[in-house]
Chain A
Amino acid sequence: DQQVKQNSPSLSVQEGRISILNCDYTNSMFDYFLWYKKYPAEGPTFLISISSIKDKNEDGRFTVFLNKSAKHLSLHIVPSQPGDSAVYFCAASGLSGGSNYKLTFGKGTLLTVNP
Protein backbone atom coordinates (compact mmCIF):
# COMPACT_ATOMS: atom_id res chain seq x y z
CA ASP A 1 0.00 0.00 0.00
CA GLN A 2 1.85 3.03 -1.30
CA GLN A 3 0.85 6.04 0.76
CA VAL A 4 2.98 8.53 -1.18
CA LYS A 5 2.92 8.27 -4.95
CA GLN A 6 5.02 9.91 -7.61
CA ASN A 7 3.44 8.65 -10.79
CA SER A 8 5.98 10.08 -13.22
CA PRO A 9 9.25 8.16 -13.05
CA SER A 10 10.97 10.74 -15.24
CA LEU A 11 10.62 14.26 -16.61
CA SER A 12 12.68 16.10 -19.19
CA VAL A 13 12.62 19.90 -19.62
CA GLN A 14 14.62 22.55 -21.40
CA GLU A 15 16.92 24.86 -19.49
CA GLY A 16 15.11 28.04 -18.48
CA ARG A 17 11.65 26.47 -18.58
CA ILE A 18 9.51 25.41 -15.64
CA SER A 19 9.78 21.93 -14.12
CA ILE A 20 6.68 20.62 -12.36
CA LEU A 21 7.00 17.51 -10.24
CA ASN A 22 3.87 15.95 -8.82
CA CYS A 23 3.09 13.88 -5.74
CA ASP A 24 -0.12 12.35 -4.39
CA TYR A 25 -0.78 10.91 -0.96
CA THR A 26 -3.51 8.79 0.54
CA ASN A 27 -3.06 9.10 4.32
CA SER A 28 -5.13 11.98 5.69
CA MET A 29 -2.99 11.93 8.86
CA PHE A 30 -0.07 13.39 6.93
CA ASP A 31 0.31 17.07 7.73
CA TYR A 32 3.90 17.85 6.82
CA PHE A 33 5.42 17.39 3.39
CA LEU A 34 8.99 17.61 2.15
CA TRP A 35 10.88 17.46 -1.12
CA TYR A 36 14.36 16.01 -1.38
CA LYS A 37 16.85 15.98 -4.23
CA LYS A 38 19.26 13.11 -4.77
CA TYR A 39 22.34 12.95 -6.96
CA PRO A 40 23.93 9.57 -7.75
CA ALA A 41 26.20 8.21 -5.01
CA GLU A 42 25.02 10.85 -2.53
CA GLY A 43 22.42 10.90 0.22
CA PRO A 44 19.19 12.84 -0.38
CA THR A 45 19.35 16.53 0.47
CA PHE A 46 16.44 18.58 1.73
CA LEU A 47 14.95 21.13 -0.65
CA ILE A 48 11.74 22.60 0.70
CA SER A 49 8.83 21.71 2.94
CA ILE A 50 5.26 22.72 3.63
CA SER A 51 2.88 22.14 6.50
CA SER A 52 -0.79 21.45 5.97
CA ILE A 53 -1.84 24.84 7.28
CA LYS A 54 -0.36 26.43 4.15
CA ASP A 55 -1.04 25.96 0.48
CA LYS A 56 2.19 27.44 -0.85
CA ASN A 57 5.79 27.82 0.22
CA GLU A 58 8.44 29.51 -1.87
CA ASP A 59 12.22 29.47 -1.60
CA GLY A 60 14.10 31.06 -4.46
CA ARG A 61 13.51 29.08 -7.65
CA PHE A 62 11.58 26.40 -5.76
CA THR A 63 7.89 26.58 -4.87
CA VAL A 64 5.80 23.83 -3.32
CA PHE A 65 2.02 23.87 -3.66
CA LEU A 66 -0.29 21.81 -1.47
CA ASN A 67 -3.90 20.94 -2.30
CA LYS A 68 -5.21 19.18 0.80
CA SER A 69 -8.64 18.41 -0.57
CA ALA A 70 -7.06 16.61 -3.52
CA LYS A 71 -4.24 15.15 -1.40
CA HIS A 72 -1.83 16.47 -3.98
CA LEU A 73 1.35 18.49 -3.89
CA SER A 74 3.68 19.74 -6.55
CA LEU A 75 7.17 21.18 -6.75
CA HIS A 76 7.81 23.93 -9.27
CA ILE A 77 11.33 24.84 -10.32
CA VAL A 78 11.68 27.98 -12.38
CA PRO A 79 13.85 28.65 -14.24
CA SER A 80 15.21 25.10 -14.50
CA GLN A 81 18.97 24.71 -14.71
CA PRO A 82 21.10 21.74 -15.85
CA GLY A 83 22.39 21.40 -12.28
CA ASP A 84 18.83 20.61 -11.18
CA SER A 85 19.07 17.27 -12.96
CA ALA A 86 18.61 14.70 -10.20
CA VAL A 87 16.04 12.36 -8.67
CA TYR A 88 13.39 14.23 -6.68
CA PHE A 89 11.61 12.52 -3.80
CA CYS A 90 8.39 13.60 -2.17
CA ALA A 91 7.99 12.69 1.53
CA ALA A 92 5.22 13.03 4.10
CA SER A 93 4.85 12.67 7.84
CA GLY A 94 2.88 13.80 10.84
CA LEU A 95 3.86 17.17 12.27
CA SER A 96 5.41 16.28 15.59
CA GLY A 97 7.16 13.52 17.45
CA GLY A 98 5.67 10.13 18.07
CA SER A 99 4.62 7.34 15.78
CA ASN A 100 3.26 9.76 13.22
CA TYR A 101 6.69 11.35 12.75
CA LYS A 102 7.73 8.52 10.43
CA LEU A 103 8.80 9.83 7.03
CA THR A 104 7.20 8.06 4.09
CA PHE A 105 8.77 8.60 0.66
CA GLY A 106 7.54 8.29 -2.88
CA LYS A 107 9.52 6.35 -5.48
CA GLY A 108 11.06 9.48 -6.97
CA THR A 109 11.05 11.31 -10.30
CA LEU A 110 14.20 11.62 -12.37
CA LEU A 111 14.41 15.20 -13.67
CA THR A 112 16.65 15.91 -16.64
CA VAL A 113 17.22 19.54 -17.59
CA ASN A 114 18.63 19.83 -21.09
CA PRO A 115 20.95 22.74 -21.96
Chain B
Amino acid sequence: GAGVSQSPSNKVTEKGKDVELRCDPISGHTALYWYRQSLGQGLEFLIYFQGNSAPDKSGLPSDRFSAERTGGSVSTLTIQRTQQEDSAVYLCASRGGQVGGEAFFGQGTRLTVV
Protein backbone atom coordinates (compact mmCIF):
# COMPACT_ATOMS: atom_id res chain seq x y z
CA GLY B 1 0.00 0.00 0.00
CA ALA B 2 0.95 3.62 -0.32
CA GLY B 3 0.68 4.58 3.33
CA VAL B 4 2.05 3.48 6.69
CA SER B 5 0.36 0.31 7.86
CA GLN B 6 0.14 -0.82 11.47
CA SER B 7 -1.12 -4.10 12.85
CA PRO B 8 -3.07 -5.09 14.76
CA SER B 9 -5.41 -2.11 14.89
CA ASN B 10 -6.61 -3.19 18.33
CA LYS B 11 -5.04 -5.46 20.90
CA VAL B 12 -6.39 -6.53 24.27
CA THR B 13 -3.94 -8.43 26.42
CA GLU B 14 -3.71 -9.66 29.97
CA LYS B 15 -1.33 -8.03 32.39
CA GLY B 16 2.02 -9.78 32.34
CA LYS B 17 1.80 -11.02 28.75
CA ASP B 18 4.14 -9.92 25.96
CA VAL B 19 2.85 -8.11 22.88
CA GLU B 20 4.30 -7.29 19.48
CA LEU B 21 3.14 -4.36 17.41
CA ARG B 22 4.04 -4.13 13.74
CA CYS B 23 4.69 -1.18 11.45
CA ASP B 24 5.10 -1.29 7.67
CA PRO B 25 6.51 2.10 6.62
CA ILE B 26 6.24 3.76 3.25
CA SER B 27 8.65 2.08 0.86
CA GLY B 28 11.95 3.91 0.62
CA HIS B 29 11.50 5.99 3.75
CA THR B 30 14.71 5.97 5.76
CA ALA B 31 13.35 7.31 9.04
CA LEU B 32 10.86 5.44 11.23
CA TYR B 33 9.41 6.67 14.50
CA TRP B 34 7.33 5.12 17.26
CA TYR B 35 5.18 7.28 19.52
CA ARG B 36 2.43 6.55 21.96
CA GLN B 37 -0.57 8.55 23.05
CA SER B 38 -2.13 7.75 26.39
CA LEU B 39 -5.66 8.90 27.16
CA GLY B 40 -5.77 12.69 27.24
CA GLN B 41 -2.05 13.02 26.65
CA GLY B 42 0.14 14.25 23.79
CA LEU B 43 2.43 12.28 21.51
CA GLU B 44 5.17 10.66 23.58
CA PHE B 45 8.32 9.81 21.64
CA LEU B 46 9.52 6.23 22.07
CA ILE B 47 12.20 5.35 19.51
CA TYR B 48 13.60 6.59 16.19
CA PHE B 49 15.36 4.66 13.44
CA GLN B 50 17.35 6.49 10.76
CA GLY B 51 18.86 4.42 7.98
CA ASN B 52 21.63 2.16 9.23
CA SER B 53 22.46 4.33 12.23
CA ALA B 54 22.02 3.12 15.78
CA PRO B 55 18.43 3.87 16.84
CA ASP B 56 17.61 6.66 19.28
CA LYS B 57 16.00 4.75 22.15
CA SER B 58 15.89 7.67 24.54
CA GLY B 59 12.09 7.65 24.78
CA LEU B 60 11.57 4.02 25.76
CA PRO B 61 9.96 4.16 29.22
CA SER B 62 11.50 0.97 30.61
CA ASP B 63 13.58 -2.04 29.64
CA ARG B 64 10.34 -3.92 29.02
CA PHE B 65 10.10 -1.98 25.76
CA SER B 66 12.23 -2.79 22.72
CA ALA B 67 12.01 -2.28 18.99
CA GLU B 68 13.79 -3.46 15.92
CA ARG B 69 13.72 -2.58 12.29
CA THR B 70 14.60 -5.39 9.93
CA GLY B 71 16.19 -4.70 6.58
CA GLY B 72 15.56 -0.99 6.95
CA SER B 73 11.85 -1.57 6.44
CA VAL B 74 9.36 -3.27 8.76
CA SER B 75 9.57 -2.44 12.46
CA THR B 76 8.31 -4.35 15.47
CA LEU B 77 7.74 -2.79 18.89
CA THR B 78 7.75 -5.39 21.66
CA ILE B 79 6.41 -4.84 25.15
CA GLN B 80 7.28 -7.55 27.65
CA ARG B 81 5.32 -8.29 30.81
CA THR B 82 2.70 -5.69 29.97
CA GLN B 83 1.32 -3.45 32.69
CA GLN B 84 -1.96 -1.53 32.80
CA GLU B 85 -0.10 1.76 32.38
CA ASP B 86 1.09 0.51 28.98
CA SER B 87 -2.47 0.93 27.69
CA ALA B 88 -2.31 3.56 24.96
CA VAL B 89 -2.46 4.10 21.21
CA TYR B 90 0.91 3.25 19.67
CA LEU B 91 1.63 5.25 16.54
CA CYS B 92 4.26 4.61 13.91
CA ALA B 93 5.43 7.17 11.35
CA SER B 94 7.90 7.12 8.48
CA ARG B 95 9.72 9.92 6.74
CA GLY B 96 11.90 10.21 3.67
CA GLY B 97 15.51 11.20 4.05
CA GLN B 98 15.23 14.29 1.89
CA VAL B 99 15.71 17.79 3.23
CA GLY B 100 12.64 18.72 5.24
CA GLY B 101 9.58 16.68 4.45
CA GLU B 102 6.73 15.48 6.58
CA ALA B 103 6.34 12.24 8.46
CA PHE B 104 3.38 10.05 7.56
CA PHE B 105 1.57 8.28 10.35
CA GLY B 106 -0.23 4.98 10.47
CA GLN B 107 -3.63 4.61 12.06
CA GLY B 108 -2.12 3.31 15.26
CA THR B 109 -2.55 0.23 17.43
CA ARG B 110 -4.84 0.64 20.41
CA LEU B 111 -3.39 -1.50 23.19
CA THR B 112 -5.51 -2.32 26.22
CA VAL B 113 -3.94 -4.19 29.11
CA VAL B 114 -6.52 -5.78 31.41
Q: Is the interface of B mostly helix, strand, loop or mixed?
A: loop
The tally of CB-CB contacts under 8 A between chains A and B is 70
In the bound complex, residues from chain B placing their C-beta under 8 Å from that of A102 are 33, 45, 48, 56
Closest beta carbon of chain B to A23's beta carbon, Å = 12
How many residues on chain B are close to A (CB under 8 Å)?
Answer: 28
Interface size class of A (residues with CB under 8 A): 20 to 34
Q: Is B106 an interface residue (CB 8 A)?
A: yes
Does B41 contact A103, Cβ atoms closer than 8 Å?
A: no
Does B91 contact A106, Cβ atoms closer than 8 Å?
A: no
Q: Is A45 an interface residue (CB 8 A)?
A: yes
Q: Is B107 an interface residue (CB 8 A)?
A: yes
Closest beta carbon of chain B to A9's beta carbon, Å = 9
In the bound complex, residues from chain A placing their C-beta under 8 Å from that of B53 are 98-99
Within 8 A of B (CB), among A51-72: 51
Q: Is B65 an interface residue (CB 8 A)?
A: no
- 10 further A-B pairs in the complex, CB-CB below 8 A; given A46-B102, A46-B103: A32-B100, A43-B91, A43-B105, A44-B43, A89-B43, A97-B97, A98-B53, A99-B53, A102-B56, A103-B45
